Amino acid sequence: MVRFLIRLGVSLALAAIALLVTSLLVPGMHLQWQGFLVAIVVFAAVQTFFEWLVEAVFRRGAPAVAGVAGLLSTAAALFVASLGDGINFDGVAAWVLAAVVVWLITALAGWLSGKYLLPRIAPKKQG
């Protein structure tokens, strides 16, 4: 349970950081502060759901499928989060570029946190 809560916190923090950095890097992406917290929660929830779904479908698939699926789940999560007031895009190009940037940030930071942060904070039980 502790590992789940830590993963949830890390996921929300990574979503917030990725969305903030992407809004600074991608000219056509805009964050509205009044809906930012909702956008973070919606983005993290949708991305987590899509990642679970892809993992269930492509359990034995190639790693390339997981990478493409992660990018597609990020794009879908950004689209769903943009239906509210937190995130806006000036066009399809900004949405696609934002999806790539958010995917790169969350993938790298997720890998680093899983490798270095989680084992130190909440090690797996032995036995």
Q: What is the pLDDT of residues 48-66, one digit of tens each?
A: 787 777 777 766 666 667 6
Element (H, E) at 79: helix 63-82
- Is residue 57 in a domain? yes
Q: Where is pLDDT greater, at 77 or 3?
A: 77
Task: Give the pLDDT confidence of 108-126 residue by residue, as tens digits.
Answer: 887 777 677 655 655 555 5
Specify the number of domains making up the chain. 1
- Is residue 126 in a domain? no
- Is residue 90 in a domain? yes
| pLDDT value, residue 126 | 57
Q: Where is pLDDT greater, at 124 or 106?
A: 106
| pLDDT value, residue 124 | 59
CA distance 29 to 93: 10
Is the separation of the CB atoms in 92 and 50 below 8 Å?
no
CA distance 26 to 101: 8
What's the pTM value of the predicted model, to 2 decimals? 0.77
- Is residue 91 in a domain? yes
CA distance 99 to 110: 16
Q: Where is pLDDT greater, at 60 or 40?
A: 40
- Is residue 127 in a domain? no
- Is residue 114 in a domain? yes
> Which residue range(s) make up the domain with 6?
2-121
Q: Is residue 95 predicted with pLDDT exceeding 90? A: yes
Mean pLDDT of the chain: 80
